[in-house]
Structure 1
Amino acid sequence: MKDYTYMMSRQLKWLFYLVAVFVLGYGFTDYQPFFAGMILGAGISTFNLWLLQVKINRIGQGVVDRDEKKRTLGMLTRFATAALAAVIALQYPGIFDMIAVIIGLMTPYLVIIIDYFFHHTELTTRKRGE
Protein backbone atom coordinates (compact mmCIF):
# COMPACT_ATOMS: atom_id res chain seq x y z
CA MET A 1 0.00 0.00 0.00
CA LYS A 2 2.99 2.25 0.49
CA ASP A 3 3.77 2.18 -3.26
CA TYR A 4 0.18 3.08 -4.09
CA THR A 5 0.21 6.04 -1.69
CA TYR A 6 3.48 7.25 -3.18
CA MET A 7 2.07 6.92 -6.72
CA MET A 8 -1.10 8.75 -5.72
CA SER A 9 0.74 11.69 -4.21
CA ARG A 10 3.12 11.86 -7.18
CA GLN A 11 0.27 12.01 -9.72
CA LEU A 12 -1.68 14.60 -7.76
CA LYS A 13 1.45 16.72 -7.39
CA TRP A 14 2.01 16.74 -11.15
CA LEU A 15 -1.63 17.57 -11.77
CA PHE A 16 -1.43 20.54 -9.41
CA TYR A 17 1.68 21.73 -11.24
CA LEU A 18 -0.14 21.38 -14.55
CA VAL A 19 -3.14 23.36 -13.28
CA ALA A 20 -0.70 26.04 -12.08
CA VAL A 21 0.78 26.22 -15.60
CA PHE A 22 -2.77 26.64 -16.96
CA VAL A 23 -3.36 29.48 -14.50
CA LEU A 24 -0.16 31.15 -15.66
CA GLY A 25 -1.29 30.69 -19.26
CA TYR A 26 -4.61 32.29 -18.40
CA GLY A 27 -2.93 35.23 -16.74
CA PHE A 28 -0.17 35.95 -19.23
CA THR A 29 -1.55 35.09 -22.68
CA ASP A 30 -4.35 36.28 -24.91
CA TYR A 31 -6.01 32.83 -24.86
CA GLN A 32 -8.08 33.29 -21.72
CA PRO A 33 -11.11 31.18 -22.84
CA PHE A 34 -8.86 28.26 -23.77
CA PHE A 35 -6.91 28.31 -20.52
CA ALA A 36 -10.08 28.91 -18.47
CA GLY A 37 -11.52 25.76 -20.06
CA MET A 38 -8.33 23.85 -19.33
CA ILE A 39 -8.42 25.03 -15.71
CA LEU A 40 -12.07 24.00 -15.34
CA GLY A 41 -11.59 20.61 -16.98
CA ALA A 42 -8.29 19.78 -15.28
CA GLY A 43 -9.53 21.01 -11.90
CA ILE A 44 -12.66 18.88 -11.97
CA SER A 45 -10.72 15.93 -13.35
CA THR A 46 -8.09 16.29 -10.61
CA PHE A 47 -10.91 16.19 -8.07
CA ASN A 48 -12.27 13.05 -9.79
CA LEU A 49 -8.86 11.38 -9.68
CA TRP A 50 -8.44 12.25 -6.01
CA LEU A 51 -11.94 10.91 -5.26
CA LEU A 52 -11.20 7.68 -7.12
CA GLN A 53 -7.93 7.19 -5.28
CA VAL A 54 -9.58 7.79 -1.90
CA LYS A 55 -12.26 5.23 -2.71
CA ILE A 56 -9.65 2.71 -3.85
CA ASN A 57 -7.85 3.23 -0.53
CA ARG A 58 -11.10 2.61 1.36
CA ILE A 59 -11.82 -0.55 -0.60
CA GLY A 60 -8.25 -1.74 0.01
CA GLN A 61 -8.60 -1.11 3.73
CA GLY A 62 -11.95 -2.93 3.70
CA VAL A 63 -10.29 -5.97 2.16
CA VAL A 64 -7.55 -5.82 4.76
CA ASP A 65 -10.06 -5.46 7.57
CA ARG A 66 -12.20 -8.27 6.10
CA ASP A 67 -15.13 -5.95 5.61
CA GLU A 68 -17.52 -7.87 3.38
CA LYS A 69 -19.70 -4.86 2.55
CA LYS A 70 -19.87 -4.31 -1.21
CA ARG A 71 -18.47 -0.94 -2.23
CA THR A 72 -18.31 0.87 -5.55
CA LEU A 73 -15.84 3.32 -6.98
CA GLY A 74 -18.46 6.02 -7.65
CA MET A 75 -18.57 6.11 -11.43
CA LEU A 76 -21.84 8.05 -11.35
CA THR A 77 -20.25 10.78 -9.20
CA ARG A 78 -17.33 11.16 -11.59
CA PHE A 79 -19.63 11.28 -14.63
CA ALA A 80 -21.80 13.88 -12.90
CA THR A 81 -18.85 16.17 -12.18
CA ALA A 82 -17.65 15.85 -15.79
CA ALA A 83 -21.17 16.66 -16.97
CA LEU A 84 -21.18 19.65 -14.62
CA ALA A 85 -18.01 20.93 -16.27
CA ALA A 86 -19.62 20.53 -19.70
CA VAL A 87 -22.77 22.34 -18.57
CA ILE A 88 -20.73 25.21 -17.14
CA ALA A 89 -18.78 25.50 -20.40
CA LEU A 90 -22.00 25.47 -22.43
CA GLN A 91 -23.63 28.02 -20.15
CA TYR A 92 -20.70 30.46 -20.41
CA PRO A 93 -19.22 30.01 -23.92
CA GLY A 94 -17.47 33.39 -23.82
CA ILE A 95 -15.53 32.43 -20.70
CA PHE A 96 -14.81 28.71 -21.25
CA ASP A 97 -13.83 26.96 -24.46
CA MET A 98 -15.67 23.62 -24.68
CA ILE A 99 -12.83 21.82 -26.50
CA ALA A 100 -10.40 22.97 -23.81
CA VAL A 101 -12.73 21.66 -21.09
CA ILE A 102 -12.80 18.24 -22.77
CA ILE A 103 -9.00 18.25 -23.14
CA GLY A 104 -8.71 19.32 -19.50
CA LEU A 105 -10.93 16.44 -18.42
CA MET A 106 -8.47 14.06 -20.13
CA THR A 107 -5.28 15.48 -18.58
CA PRO A 108 -5.12 13.12 -15.56
CA TYR A 109 -5.05 10.13 -17.89
CA LEU A 110 -2.11 11.65 -19.73
CA VAL A 111 -0.38 12.31 -16.39
CA ILE A 112 -1.03 8.71 -15.27
CA ILE A 113 0.44 7.31 -18.51
CA ILE A 114 3.53 9.54 -18.35
CA ASP A 115 3.98 8.74 -14.66
CA TYR A 116 3.76 5.03 -15.42
CA PHE A 117 6.44 5.24 -18.11
CA PHE A 118 8.82 7.25 -15.91
CA HIS A 119 8.25 5.01 -12.92
CA HIS A 120 8.50 1.82 -15.01
CA THR A 121 11.82 2.88 -16.55
CA GLU A 122 13.08 3.78 -13.08
CA LEU A 123 12.18 0.31 -11.80
CA THR A 124 13.65 -1.53 -14.79
CA THR A 125 16.96 0.33 -14.70
CA ARG A 126 17.56 -0.57 -11.04
CA LYS A 127 19.46 -3.72 -10.28
CA ARG A 128 18.18 -6.32 -7.86
CA GLY A 129 18.99 -5.64 -4.27
CA GLU A 130 19.42 -1.90 -4.63
Structure 2
Amino acid sequence: MNELQQHWRRHKSYILYLLALYVLGWGFSSYEKIFLSLIIGTIVGLFNTWTLIRRVERLGRAVILGRRVVSLGMLSRMAAATLGAIFALRYPEHLSIVWIVVGLMTSYVVIMIDFFFQKNKEEER
Protein backbone atom coordinates (compact mmCIF):
# COMPACT_ATOMS: atom_id res chain seq x y z
CA MET A 1 0.00 0.00 0.00
CA ASN A 2 1.46 3.36 -0.97
CA GLU A 3 2.00 6.22 1.45
CA LEU A 4 -0.97 8.24 0.22
CA GLN A 5 -3.32 5.32 0.86
CA GLN A 6 -1.87 4.85 4.36
CA HIS A 7 -2.49 8.50 5.16
CA TRP A 8 -6.01 8.30 3.74
CA ARG A 9 -6.91 5.22 5.81
CA ARG A 10 -5.61 6.85 8.98
CA HIS A 11 -7.41 10.16 8.32
CA LYS A 12 -10.62 8.38 7.41
CA SER A 13 -10.63 6.42 10.66
CA TYR A 14 -10.01 9.59 12.72
CA ILE A 15 -12.84 11.39 10.96
CA LEU A 16 -15.20 8.44 11.42
CA TYR A 17 -14.44 8.51 15.15
CA LEU A 18 -15.22 12.22 15.18
CA LEU A 19 -18.45 11.55 13.32
CA ALA A 20 -19.39 8.98 15.95
CA LEU A 21 -18.82 11.61 18.65
CA TYR A 22 -20.92 14.11 16.69
CA VAL A 23 -23.75 11.58 16.38
CA LEU A 24 -23.63 10.97 20.14
CA GLY A 25 -23.69 14.72 20.71
CA TRP A 26 -26.62 15.08 18.35
CA GLY A 27 -28.53 12.32 20.06
CA PHE A 28 -27.79 13.09 23.70
CA SER A 29 -27.26 16.84 24.00
CA SER A 30 -29.42 19.89 23.64
CA TYR A 31 -27.22 21.20 20.79
CA GLU A 32 -28.86 19.22 17.99
CA LYS A 33 -28.50 22.05 15.48
CA ILE A 34 -24.75 22.36 16.03
CA PHE A 35 -24.03 18.63 15.93
CA LEU A 36 -26.25 17.97 12.91
CA SER A 37 -24.48 20.79 11.06
CA LEU A 38 -21.10 19.34 12.06
CA ILE A 39 -22.19 15.91 10.84
CA ILE A 40 -23.25 17.22 7.43
CA GLY A 41 -20.17 19.42 7.05
CA THR A 42 -17.81 16.63 8.07
CA ILE A 43 -19.42 14.14 5.70
CA VAL A 44 -19.11 16.60 2.82
CA GLY A 45 -15.50 17.32 3.87
CA LEU A 46 -14.74 13.60 3.97
CA PHE A 47 -16.26 13.21 0.51
CA ASN A 48 -14.14 16.11 -0.77
CA THR A 49 -10.98 14.60 0.69
CA TRP A 50 -11.81 11.21 -0.84
CA THR A 51 -12.40 12.87 -4.22
CA LEU A 52 -9.09 14.71 -3.99
CA ILE A 53 -7.22 11.50 -3.09
CA ARG A 54 -8.75 9.71 -6.08
CA ARG A 55 -7.83 12.55 -8.41
CA VAL A 56 -4.26 12.76 -7.10
CA GLU A 57 -3.82 9.02 -7.68
CA ARG A 58 -5.20 9.44 -11.20
CA LEU A 59 -2.77 12.33 -11.76
CA GLY A 60 0.14 10.15 -10.57
CA ARG A 61 -0.79 7.35 -12.95
CA ALA A 62 -1.16 9.83 -15.81
CA VAL A 63 2.28 11.31 -15.14
CA ILE A 64 3.83 7.84 -15.12
CA LEU A 65 2.13 6.98 -18.41
CA GLY A 66 2.92 10.38 -19.94
CA ARG A 67 -0.73 11.42 -20.32
CA ARG A 68 -2.51 14.62 -19.40
CA VAL A 69 -5.05 15.14 -16.62
CA VAL A 70 -7.62 17.86 -17.02
CA SER A 71 -8.09 18.87 -13.36
CA LEU A 72 -8.06 17.73 -9.77
CA GLY A 73 -11.82 18.24 -9.47
CA MET A 74 -11.98 21.58 -7.70
CA LEU A 75 -15.36 22.38 -9.22
CA SER A 76 -16.98 19.18 -7.93
CA ARG A 77 -15.56 19.75 -4.42
CA MET A 78 -16.82 23.32 -4.43
CA ALA A 79 -20.23 22.12 -5.62
CA ALA A 80 -20.42 19.64 -2.73
CA ALA A 81 -19.56 22.38 -0.23
CA THR A 82 -22.14 24.65 -1.84
CA LEU A 83 -24.74 21.91 -1.52
CA GLY A 84 -24.06 21.76 2.23
CA ALA A 85 -24.49 25.55 2.44
CA ILE A 86 -27.74 25.34 0.46
CA PHE A 87 -29.07 22.81 2.96
CA ALA A 88 -28.22 25.22 5.78
CA LEU A 89 -29.97 28.09 4.03
CA ARG A 90 -32.99 25.95 3.18
CA TYR A 91 -33.40 24.55 6.69
CA PRO A 92 -32.11 27.27 9.07
CA GLU A 93 -34.19 25.92 11.96
CA HIS A 94 -32.25 22.62 11.85
CA LEU A 95 -28.81 23.60 10.49
CA SER A 96 -26.24 26.33 10.99
CA ILE A 97 -24.06 27.41 8.08
CA VAL A 98 -21.22 28.37 10.44
CA TRP A 99 -21.03 24.85 11.89
CA ILE A 100 -21.31 23.28 8.44
CA VAL A 101 -18.23 25.28 7.42
CA VAL A 102 -16.46 24.11 10.59
CA GLY A 103 -17.38 20.54 9.66
CA LEU A 104 -16.04 21.09 6.15
CA MET A 105 -12.71 22.15 7.62
CA THR A 106 -12.53 19.17 9.99
CA SER A 107 -10.76 17.01 7.39
CA TYR A 108 -8.03 19.59 6.94
CA VAL A 109 -7.55 20.01 10.69
CA VAL A 110 -7.29 16.22 11.09
CA ILE A 111 -4.70 16.11 8.29
CA MET A 112 -2.61 18.83 9.96
CA ILE A 113 -2.77 17.21 13.41
CA ASP A 114 -1.86 13.82 11.96
CA PHE A 115 1.05 15.39 10.08
CA PHE A 116 2.50 16.78 13.32
CA PHE A 117 2.06 13.46 15.13
CA GLN A 118 3.73 11.56 12.29
CA LYS A 119 6.55 14.12 12.14
CA ASN A 120 7.18 13.74 15.89
CA LYS A 121 7.09 9.95 15.56
CA GLU A 122 9.68 10.16 12.76
CA GLU A 123 11.97 12.38 14.84
CA GLU A 124 11.84 9.94 17.77
CA ARG A 125 13.22 7.17 15.56
> Normalising by structure 2, what TM-score?
0.95
Distance of 1:48 and 1:82 partners within structure 2:
8
The aligned runs of 1:2-41 (5 Å cut-off) are 2-41=2-41
What SS class does the counterpart of residue 69 from structure 1 fall into? coil
Distance of 2:109 and 2:35 partners within structure 1:
17
Instruction: Find runs of 4+ consecutive structure 1 residues off by over 6 angstroms.
Output: none
- Aligned residue identity for 1:104: G
- Aligned residue identity for 2:49: L
Q: Which residue is equivalent to 2:117?
A: 118
Q: Which residue is equivalent to 1:81?
A: 80
- Aligned residue identity for 2:76: T
- Aligned residue identity for 2:32: Q
1:26-60 CA-to-partner distances (Å, cap 9, x unmatched) read 00101000000000101101000011001111111
The gaps in structure 2 that reach 5 residues or longer are none
The aligned runs of 1:43-62 (5 Å cut-off) are 43-62=43-62
The gaps in structure 1 that reach 5 residues or longer are none
Distance of 1:12 and 1:104 partners within structure 2:
14
Distance of 1:3 and 1:57 partners within structure 2:
11
Q: Does structure 1 conserve the Cα–Cα contact (< 8 Å) formed by 2:89 and 2:97?
A: yes
Q: Which residue is equivalent to 2:97?
A: 98
Q: Percent identity?
A: 37
Q: Which residue is equivalent to 2:107?
A: 108
- Deviation, 1:71, is 2.9
- Deviation, 1:4, is 1.5
RMSD: 1.1
